[in-house]
Amino acid sequence: MMRIIFELDFEDVNPRLRRLLSYLEEMTRTSTTIPAEQGNSSVLLCDYIRCAIQKENVAVSTRKNKETTLRWISRWYQDLQLCQVTVGFIPDFIRHMKEQHFQDGTISKHLHQLRHYLYQAVKEGLVAPALHDPNLYAYKVEKYHHSFLSPEEFTLLEEYDAKMFPAHWETARQAFLFSCYTGLRFSDIKQLTPSHIKKKGDIHWLALKTQKTGIEIHLPLELLFQGKSLSIYNKVKGKPNAKCFKLGTNTATNKILQRIQNHLGLSTHISFHTARHTFATNLLYMDVRLEVIQKLLGHHNIKTTQIYAEMTDAALVKALQNNWLKP
């Protein structure tokens, strides 16, 4: 028999969550699960997902993504009861997202989040088993072109002098370049402190557990791009546990980078993740093996690395000359 212990002060819980907790308490007195066809009319879809998110132990960035999905569901289905969710709900949800001009990748991401909670509801007997069909949540995403800086654009950004502009522009530029030299994601750059960088012998090693995947990565800074990341680190480092880069949100930082892009006249559209693509592509151009790039990026699957490390035209020509066009 499932047991639930309620230790919350009901006066501090919003009314909808209070109804959900009351329902769960009643459920434990009657049965371990209640089939969807029996009703459960007091449980709202939004309340169910909200309660599930609160119980999950996930990274802050992952939680924010889940909460974003919940906000959109709440906007369109605020009063939808869990027992009213049918297979027709999925295409209707997609329709709403298309009307808001969501990108394909965004639609796919929200469907992925929704699927997780509806699968859970199926397992608990709260919705129809038909909702446990992966084909319902499959959404064809057009192949995304991963942008990266050309060598010329990279040099322009390195030599860019932001002294005449606000200080937060220079912070964003330095953080972006640090990512170009190390391949770190925005979420990992934000958490970076001097405690993550230790000198062993003649090499400074950057070691941290990535926010997105929880993989431990170890980067030899002197051996990557002539140790250029170290010169940036020495400028921004503070106390051992102080954040190296004082950045705002990912969105705010991307807006600053786009202003810098426009100022320099770069043709490549820049977001912070462009730095990670640039890191991988430059290593590929330098003939670094894909398995090594996979290790540096902290990828579980080398197929993911293959997507990131798109070959530049110059790298393609070089590969052909070395392997196929020799006399």
What secondary structure does DSSP assign to 52-112, as a single string?
HHHH----HHHHHHHHHHHHHHHHHHTT-BGGG--TTHHHHHHHHHHHTT--HHHHHHHHH
Asked if 162 and 127 touch (Cβ cutoff 8 Å), the reply is: no
- DSSP for 20-43 reads HHHHHHHHHHH-S---GGG--TT-
Q: What is the pLDDT of residue 41?
A: 47
Which two structure tokens, joined as six digits, stand for 246? 């004082």
Q: What is the largest CA-CA distance in the chain?
A: 82
Helix, strand or coil for residue 307?
A: helix
Q: Phi and psi of 98, rounded to 5°?
A: -65, -40
What does the pLDDT look like over 175-192, one tens digit per residue? 999 999 999 999 999 999
Task: Provide the angle, in degrees to the nearest 10, between the axes of the packed helices 104-123 and 45-55.
Answer: 90
Rounded mean pLDDT of the chain? 82
pLDDT of residue 39: 43
Amino acid in the structure at residue 258:
Q
Which parts of the chain sit beneath pLDDT 70?
1-41, 141-146, 308-327
Instruction: List pLDDT tens digits, range 189-222.
Output: 999 999 999 999 999 999 999 888 888 999 999 9
Helix or strand run (H / E) with residue 216: strand 216-220
CA 191 to each of CA 2, 40, 242: distance values in angstroms, whole numbers, following the listed order: 39, 43, 9
**What is the rounded distance in angstroms from the CA atom of residue 283 to the CA atom of residue 300?**
18
CA 44/CA 15 separation, integer angstroms: 12
Q: What is the four-CA torsion angle of 296, 301, 307, 313, rounded to 10 degrees?
A: 60
Q: Which of 305, 320, 170 is nearest to 245 (CA)?
A: 170
How far apart, in whole angstroms, are the C-alpha atoms of residue 93 and residue 112? 12
Cβ contacts of 8 within 8 Å, gap of 6 or more: 21
State the pLDDT at residue 309.
55
